[in-house]
A = this chain, B = another copy of it.
Amino acid sequence: METKARKVLIADDEPDILEILKYNLSNEGYEVITAKDGDEALEKARRTLPDLVVLDVMMPKKTGVEVCQLLRAQPAFKETLIIFLTAVNDEGTQIKGLETGADDYVSKPVSPKVFLSRVNALFRRLNKTEARILTIENMTIDPERFIVKVGENEIVLAKKEFELLYLLALKPGRVFLRNEILNQVWGNDVIVGDRTIDVHIRKIRQKLGVDCITTVKGVGYKFEL
């Protein structure tokens, strides 16, 4: 059930690193494009539209951060995954990287094992968000328009509400732990209180008017019509 190969663009000025990462990614079935500086990275990114861009922070011509910002400014790269490679142990830089819109960063020297697992993790996360319309009995959940149809009623949910419902509905019956929900809907590093989830659950139940979310006390929530 292999879909088409994921395209990965790697930009780094050290040929050795390019080689190592290219070798490992190829072995995993990725299609790899390489660039040796910021300008080349930008140009190749625009031309090949990769699924993932790996950027060394310190590069000639343009730094990884600059490239990232320029890419993110274009609609075509809004959803593209971006990973920074950084030798800088400075936390400030790392955080700034993430704020610029990177999805992860890996510190140098790079361990191929760690790098691969990060890449795989990112794509895994992406797959889950893949927009497809869910239909469970008389309920339709449409991620394109943030709309839920129950029978003939069209109900509009807010973003977080929708993402939460969508997550649960992806696997009806399966219990999602509060931590899983936080990770998937809010992100690994965002810290919000537990009660926040409850409030969103409540709004969903209220708006839908149908009892489709079951509480499993001490564990989490599950979708169940």
Number of copies of this kind of chain in the complex: 2
A174 to B133 alpha-carbon distance, docked (Å): 12
- Pick the most buried of A111, A147, A183, A219: most chain B CB atoms within 10 A of its CB: A111
Residue of B nearest to A109 (CB): B91
Contact A89 B113, beta carbon cutoff 8 Å: no
Contact B114 A189, beta carbon cutoff 8 Å: yes
Contact B117 A189, beta carbon cutoff 8 Å: yes
Interface size class of A (residues with CB under 8 A): 35 or more
Q: Is A191 on the interface with B (CB-CB < 8 A)?
A: yes
Q: Is A46 on the interface with B (CB-CB < 8 A)?
A: no
Q: In the complex, how many angstroms separate the beta carbon of A73 from the nearest chain B beta carbon?
A: 20
Residue of B nearest to A220 (CB): B146
Q: In the complex, how many angstroms separate the beta carbon of A29 from the nearest chain B beta carbon?
A: 9
Q: Is A173 on the interface with B (CB-CB < 8 A)?
A: yes
Specify which of B108, B117, B146, B175 is in contact with A89 (CB 8 Å cutoff): B108
Q: Is A4 on the interface with B (CB-CB < 8 A)?
A: no
Residue of B nearest to A104 (CB): B114
Set of chain B residues within 8 Å of A145, measured between Cβ atoms: 173-175, 222
Q: Is A216 on the interface with B (CB-CB < 8 A)?
A: yes
A:75-130 near B, CB below 8 Å: 87, 89, 91, 94-95, 98, 104-105, 107-109, 111, 113-114, 117, 120-121, 125
Q: In the complex, how many angstroms separate the beta carbon of A106 from the nearest chain B beta carbon?
A: 9
A143 to B157 alpha-carbon distance, docked (Å): 30
Contact B159 A219, beta carbon cutoff 8 Å: yes
Q: In the complex, how many angstroms separate the beta carbon of A187 from the nearest chain B beta carbon?
A: 9
Contact B87 A191, beta carbon cutoff 8 Å: no
28 residue pairs A–B, Cβ–Cβ below 8 Å = A1-B218, A91-B108, A91-B114, A94-B114, A98-B111, A98-B113, A105-B111, A107-B107, A113-B189, A113-B191, A117-B125, A117-B188, A117-B189, A120-B188, A121-B121, A144-B174, A144-B175, A145-B173, A145-B174, A146-B175, A146-B219, A146-B222, A147-B173, A158-B218, A159-B216, A159-B217, A159-B218, A159-B219
